Chain A
């Protein structure tokens, strides 16, 4: 039994191919069964070992490296796949489920891979499957957003490819995906890291995230918010742990997301900016690189997948029911969607690291690791960012959707209600887990990769510290609430460069280059082509009438023979065969007779 290993991604891939074949009432059961099977597969898996080794040309490919780090990520990802599929159970379109499952399969493939070739394969599967979750929104802008998303990820993929190909060459054929030499980094170390941090949405490579997640389908966004960035955190924890540059990058991320979240008017884009902020903690944790920091990064990724999924489910429910996601078009909905409010609030309290909620036991571990490594500036700035987290996700989102000024149109108000049972059930499961993780710490802590680390979040000092920060942030929020009133604006982010850059390029192509080309074509036609044609026509006439007519008549004879042959060539195969065989027979007879 212990030697048996089945890749959970394989279950999802086979499941997604079988899905269109299942009809009728069995379909819903099948939809739930496949991710649960994948989860059970991870749950029952041997705790350690190398499986799924395949020889491909000169390379040994490893599909199944199982250890503490890969197991905990696979556990939460398959669990989230179950919750996400339950949330999207009402979606009738098979292709949406298939895209989501293949996307999760891509993540799982990266989690378990042992070398860069397999990693790259699944890395690209993730990008190409998830883009459909944007396209299926089917708004006019979805298509463009999807292409931008794809192009950015293709760019990241190429940098990653360049990184490991250079490493392959420099190390004489080493493709194994393990801890890189971060003490003396080479060009390839940086290239691989850049490939990874693009998927983690580290500024300046982050603008794809709010762009795509704000535009994805309601259920698609629930999947997207969980997998791409957290898979990137896994690769950073695996390969780049202890890389100093990740600490400042992570802190910048944590603050950058907070600033843009203040400005954001769209609830799902606000949550997307908060992913950047939260992933910043994890990136910083990977950069600190101590056993405790890595545990913190992993624990925070685990908790984050659940509470961010929950938040996206909450705001997604509002969008699903009312068709609106902007604060300036919502407000006062607590009477119409009370349960969604409670679930979203639980997500908000979890992300804000309230005691007894999941963020409290995970985020603090990273901050504590920064303090114990005496990186004080990082620790204080991350604490400051956590005030911002509560400000937006814990206060601004619930307040401006469910309370505050009622900006709903009559139509929005009439449509608003708690969502279908499956969406509520999925939110219920996620909300339960957020509280369970916060209350019963061994559940999460026993799964963390570095078992030797001992950490107690519930000390009197830590409780006092957290409650003061959080409640005085709330105090500040209500004092400054007028300044926070949502504005119907969008904020320009760094995607401006490629959105407007592309437009500039299009203008350059359309206007100056096209004009030059047209002018050149016209000039050539007048100056070159017309005289040339006149001269050619003369020579053609001369050749036909003078040389052929007067001198030898070859052209005329060829033309008349050609006319006869043309009649023979009907183009049908059997005639061609008939002529060919007849010709060969004739030649044979001639040969024998002569």
Chain B
């Protein structure tokens, strides 16, 4: 049951965990400024934090576009195929 205790430990300190996560996100962007971009494939990737923006926009786009598409009528009641 150690796993449950560990999870509960973090859940009890949720605000701290969230702050820590924001710190990690910020740190990632800062590190990216100093990373050797020799392996970059395109010019745009040299912008610091390019992939952070890419990741965030990708996530938002996927959720919004998919839900919009689903609510066009693609999502329907569960017994749709029942006769």
The interface bits of chain B over 9-39 (1 if a CB of A lies within 8 angstroms of the residue's CB, else 0) are: 0000000000001001100110110011111
The interface bits of chain B over 45-78 (1 if a CB of A lies within 8 angstroms of the residue's CB, else 0) are: 1000101111110111111111101100111111
CA distance A465 to B37 in the complex (A): 10
CA distance A384 to B66 in the complex (A): 14
**Nearest residue, chain B, Cβ from A493:** B74
Cross-chain contact of A460 among B35, B49, B76 (Cβ < 8 A): B35
Quote the shortest CB–CB distance from A291 to chain B (angstroms).
18
| Inter-subunit contact A391/B76 (CB<8 Å) | no
- Residues in chain A near residue B63, CB distance under 8 A: 262, 391, 476, 480, 483-484
| Inter-subunit contact A468/B55 (CB<8 Å) | yes
| Residues of A contacting B: mostly | helix
| Inter-subunit contact B37/A259 (CB<8 Å) | no
| Inter-subunit contact A384/B58 (CB<8 Å) | yes
- How many chain A residues touch B (CB < 8 A): the figure is 47
Quote the shortest CB–CB distance from A452 to chain B (angstroms).
20
**A339 close to chain B: CB less than 8 A:** yes
Within 8 A of B (CB), among A377-402: 379, 383-384, 387-388, 391
Contact (A475, B65) CB under 8 Å given A338-B4, A468-B29, A490-B75: no
| Inter-subunit contact A473/B76 (CB<8 Å) | no
**Nearest residue, chain A, Cβ from B40:** A461
User: How big is chain B's contact interface, by range?
Assistant: 35 or more
| Inter-subunit contact A338/B1 (CB<8 Å) | yes
| Inter-subunit contact A464/B51 (CB<8 Å) | yes
| Inter-subunit contact A258/B62 (CB<8 Å) | yes
The interface bits of chain A over 365-379 (1 if a CB of B lies within 8 angstroms of the residue's CB, else 0) are: 000000110001001
- Residues in chain B near residue A166, CB distance under 8 A: none
Q: In the complex, given contacts A258-B62, A338-B1, what are 17 additional A-B residue pairs having Cβ atoms less than 8 angstroms apart?
A: A258-B66, A262-B63, A384-B58, A387-B55, A387-B62, A391-B63, A462-B39, A464-B28, A468-B32, A468-B55, A471-B55, A476-B56, A476-B59, A489-B70, A489-B76, A490-B80, A492-B74
19 contacts between A and B (CB under 8 A): A260-B66, A263-B67, A334-B4, A342-B3, A376-B41, A376-B42, A387-B54, A388-B58, A464-B28, A468-B32, A472-B25, A473-B55, A475-B56, A476-B59, A483-B63, A487-B75, A490-B78, A492-B75, A499-B81
Residues in A lying within 8 Å of B, measured CB to CB:
258-260, 262-263, 334-335, 338-339, 341-342, 371-372, 376, 379, 383-384, 387-388, 391, 459-462, 464-465, 467-473, 475-477, 480, 483-484, 487-492, 499, 503
Which 4 residue pairs of A and B lie closest in terms of their CB atoms, listed nearest first? A476-B59, A262-B66, A472-B55, A469-B55
